[in-house]
Structure 1
Amino acid sequence: MSNHRSYIKKNIKMAWPIAINALLMQGMLMIDTLLISPLGEGSLAAMGIASAIVSLMLGVQNALANGSQNVLSRAVGSGKNQLVSKSYLSGIIINLSVAVFFFALISLFKWPLIKLLSHESSLYSDIDAYLSIIKYALLLTGISQVSIALYNAMGKTKLPLLSYLLTMPINAVVSYYLINGLGSFAGIGVAGAALGSIFALGIRMVFLLVCLKYQRNSLLSLALAKQGIRRNIALHFKEISPIAANMMVLAMGLAAYRFLYTQLPTEAYAAVVMVTPWLSSLAQFVVAWAVSSAITISQAIGSNNLETLDADVNLSIKVTIAVSAIIALVSFVLSLFIDDIYPGHSDTTYQALATIAPLYILMPLIQGYTTVHGQVLRALGKTTAVFNINFVTRWVIAIPLCAFAVLVLDASIFWVYAITVFEQALKIVPMRHQAKKFLREFDSNKAKELMYD
């Protein structure tokens, strides 16, 4: 029992900063949106189009860093500074290589991208101004995200949180000045928001690297890292690339869902738009627990401490269900007050919100169960299995079914939204089966194969 308490306490200590970090990441974009808003709809639209391009690319980088997090957790668990150094350098090289590729893509094909995403020529100059600056975020986050992954792997999740708390106000103040100007400086509008974000991200990167230098339990060494780095990079990339592919599959799936939702009556679509940000924010707490569980499991694999692996996984699942139940309860409370949060809409919109409420209240329970199993599989190095399950359930089954319901059957919002819940339910059996199978087969030899020593 004391071991269970220690495991839960350790994971909670890691999980809550991870959840807050995820919320603050969304807050960075909200700051820019609030500051740009007074400039008018055109500026907002321009920033939205430009940030959509970069956000997708940053999402891929973040997915790669999340994959590196499990590799780094195993290295930290092993207690070998050489392996930690090597895994960190591999993660940086992979993420920066992707960042440079995306940076070049934007630089070379910026105008075709702009014209593809917008037919309003009046927006082009603002989109160009924002995109020309914000693309440098790719290079900064290439280092920052892997550094954050290392902090998380070491269980020091509060330092990344501190980096966000430090840079968010800096971002707000600098961006406000650059957008609106002060005194003789007239401001540079949309470009100022991008430049302010770059300035803040640069400070965050420096802060993370400086703090990393003084971490006693991780003495990084470039000389040690270079030994056998090519093999480490190859194995590292082989493991984490399906995670980036998985992120793309899910992101494109969300885009497909959004397109299909736009084909619904305006009131029904408005209901989905209203409730989605709240549900996404609440889901971060379930994801954070699942991620912290994966870190702990990866550390155990790295230290070859496999005696309690089954028990730890089962405990993680039970606690995830408990956390999901709390989120479902909060979603229920949200459903009671959603009309008051968004006053002044039509009765049809409020009816649509009431119609889908049972579905989004149920969703956390199912999604939490599948999320923790997915993280367990990733901790075991089975990233391709997670990709296959997500691809089949979303693109082979759910998206075609949703398209049929919307475009052919003209189904109501309840049945269309229910397909997203159905998609999550479809994952339960294969996720559970794969996790049990690989846990049953996992031994010291399998753990050794994952070390990339």
Structure 2
Amino acid sequence: MFKNSTYIKKNIKMAWPIAINALLMQGMLMIDTLLISPLGEGSLAAMGIASTIVALMLGVQNALANGSQNVLSRAFGSGKESLLSKSFLSGMIINLSVAVLFFTLVTIFKWPLIKLISHDTHLYTDIDAYLSTIKYALLLTGISQVSIALFNAMGKTKLPLLSYLLTMPVNALVSYYLIYGLGDFSGIGISGAALGSVIALGLRMMFLLVCLRYQKTSKLSFEQASDGVARNVRLHFKETFPIAANMMVLAMGLAAYNLLYTQLPTEAYAAIVMITPWLSALSQFVLAWAVSSAITISQAIGSNNLDTLDSDVSLSIKVTIAVSGIIAFASFILSLVIDKIYPGHSQTTYQALAVIAPLYILMPLIQGYTTVHGQVLRALGKTTAVFNINFVTRWLIALPLCAFVVLVLNASIFWVYAVTVFEQALKIIPMRYQARKFLREFDSKKAKELMYE
């Protein structure tokens, strides 16, 4: 009982900063949106188009860093500073290489991308202005995300949170000054928002690197890291690439869902647009617990402490279900006040919100269960298994079904939205089966294979 209490407290200590971090990441985009809004719809649309391009690339980098997080957690758990240094350098090489690739692609193919995404020539100048500056965020984030992954792997999740809390006010103040100016400086408009974000991200990167330089938990050594790093990079990438591919599959699938939702009546589509950001924010708390569980499990694998692995996984699942229950209750409360949050809309829109309420209240319970099993599989190094399950359930089953329900049956919003819940339900059996299977087979030999020494 005491051990269980210690395990839960340790994970909660790691989980809540991870959840707040995720919310603050979304907040940085909200800052730019609020600041640019007075410039008019054209500037907002231009920023939305440009940020969509960069957000997809940043999402891939973030997914790679999340994969590195499990590798770094195992290295930290092993207590071997040389392995931790090597894993950190490998993660940095992979993420920075991808960042440079994306930066180069944006630089060379900027105009073909702009013309592909938008056909409104009036927006091109603003899109170009924002994209030409915000692309530097790719390089800065490439370093920051791996640094954050290392802090999380060490259990120091509050430091990344502190980096966001320090830089968000800088982002807001500097961006406002650069957009609108002050005194003799008249501002540079939409590119000022991008430059403000880049300056804030640069400050965050410097803060994290200084913290890494002076942290005392583990000594990072470039000399130790460079020995055999090529093999480590190869194995590291082999494990983390399916996570990035998984992110792309889910992101493109989400875009396909949104495209299908636009075929619904305007009021029904408006209802989905209203509720989605809130559900996304609430889901971060379940995800944060699942991620912290994966870190703890990875640390145990690194230290070859496998005696309690099965019980730790079982406990993580139980707590995730409990957290999911709390989020489901929060979703229920949200359903009661959503019309107060968005007043002045038609009764048809509010009816659509009421119709899908049982579905989005149920969703956290199912999604939490599948999420924690997915994180367990990743902690065990089975990232390809998670990719396969997500690809099959979303692209081969759920999206074709959604298209049929929307385009052929012309069904109501309830049945259309129910497909997303059905997709999550489809994952329950394969996720649980795979996690239990690999957990039963996992032993010291398999743990050693994951160390990439």
CA distance in 2, matches of 1:432, 1:229: 35
- What's the counterpart of residue 315 of structure 2? 315
Q: How does 1:8-87 map to 2 (within 5 A)?
A: 8-87=8-87
1:101 aligned onto 2:101: yes
**1:434, distance to aligned residue in structure 2 (A):** 0.2
Q: How does 1:293-372 map to 2 (within 5 A)?
A: 293-372=293-372
**1:189, distance to aligned residue in structure 2 (A):** 0.4
1:200 aligned onto 2:200: yes
Q: Deviations over 1:155-209 (max 9, x none)?
A: 0000000000000000000000000000110100000000000000000000000
- What's the counterpart of residue 252 of structure 1? 252
Q: How does 1:68-147 map to 2 (within 5 A)?
A: 68-147=68-147
- 1:155 partner letter: G
Q: How does 1:168-179 map to 2 (within 5 A)?
A: 168-179=168-179
- Normalising by the residue count of structure 1, what TM-score does the alignment of the two structures yield? 1.00
- 1:233 partner letter: V
1:222 aligned onto 2:222: yes
CA distance in 2, matches of 1:39, 1:344: 24
- 2:4 partner letter: H
Q: How does 1:212-291 map to 2 (within 5 A)?
A: 212-291=212-291
Secondary structure, counterpart of 2:203 in structure 1: helix
CA distance in 2, matches of 1:362, 1:169: 36
CA distance in 2, matches of 1:356, 1:218: 49
**1:218, distance to aligned residue in structure 2 (A):** 1.4
CA distance in 1, matches of 2:21, 2:423: 27
Give aligned-pair identity as a percent. 83
Q: Deviations over 1:375-419 (max 9, x none)?
A: 000000000000000000000000000000000000100000000
CA distance in 1, matches of 2:24, 2:383: 27
Q: Deviations over 1:128-166 (max 9, x none)?
A: 000000000000000000000000000000000000000
**1:126, distance to aligned residue in structure 2 (A):** 0.6
1:420 aligned onto 2:427: no
CA distance in 2, matches of 1:339, 1:210: 46
- 1:375 partner letter: Q
**1:266, distance to aligned residue in structure 2 (A):** 0.2
Q: Return 113-122 or 360-369, whichever deviates more.
A: 113-122
**1:289, distance to aligned residue in structure 2 (A):** 0.0
- What's the counterpart of residue 158 of structure 2? 158
CA distance in 2, matches of 1:302, 1:7: 17
- Normalising by the residue count of structure 2, what TM-score does the alignment of the two structures yield? 1.00
- 1:10 partner letter: K
CA distance in 2, matches of 1:214, 1:207: 11
Secondary structure, counterpart of 1:306 in structure 2: coil
- What's the counterpart of residue 5 of structure 2? 5
- 1:178 partner letter: L
CA distance in 1, matches of 2:242, 2:288: 20
CA distance in 2, matches of 1:173, 1:342: 28
Extract structure 1 runs of 4+ deviating beyond 2 A. Answer: none
CA distance in 2, matches of 1:341, 1:240: 40
**1:215, distance to aligned residue in structure 2 (A):** 1.2
- 2:394 partner letter: R
CA distance in 1, matches of 2:192, 2:411: 45
CA distance in 1, matches of 2:202, 2:246: 28
Q: Deviations over 1:272-299 (max 9, x none)?
A: 0000000000000000000000000000
**1:90, distance to aligned residue in structure 2 (A):** 0.3
CA distance in 2, matches of 1:195, 1:339: 37
CA distance in 1, matches of 2:159, 2:23: 15
- What's the counterpart of residue 210 of structure 1? 210
CA distance in 2, matches of 1:391, 1:141: 27
- 2:221 partner letter: S
CA distance in 1, matches of 2:62, 2:102: 13
- What's the counterpart of residue 403 of structure 1? 403
- 1:274 partner letter: M
- 2:51 partner letter: S
CA distance in 2, matches of 1:161, 1:379: 23
- 1:123 partner letter: L
- 1:118 partner letter: S
CA distance in 1, matches of 2:282, 2:217: 33
Structure 2 unaligned spans of 5+ = none
**1:217, distance to aligned residue in structure 2 (A):** 1.3
Question: In angstroms, what is the RMSD of aligned CA positions?
Answer: 0.3
Aligned residues: 453
**1:369, distance to aligned residue in structure 2 (A):** 0.1
Secondary structure, counterpart of 1:451 in structure 2: coil
- 1:342 partner letter: Y
Secondary structure, counterpart of 1:21 in structure 2: helix
- 2:383 partner letter: T
- What's the counterpart of residue 378 of structure 1? 378
- What's the counterpart of residue 448 of structure 1? 448
Secondary structure, counterpart of 2:87 in structure 1: helix
- What's the counterpart of residue 190 of structure 1? 190
CA distance in 2, matches of 1:138, 1:218: 27
Secondary structure, counterpart of 1:38 in structure 2: helix
**1:265, distance to aligned residue in structure 2 (A):** 0.3
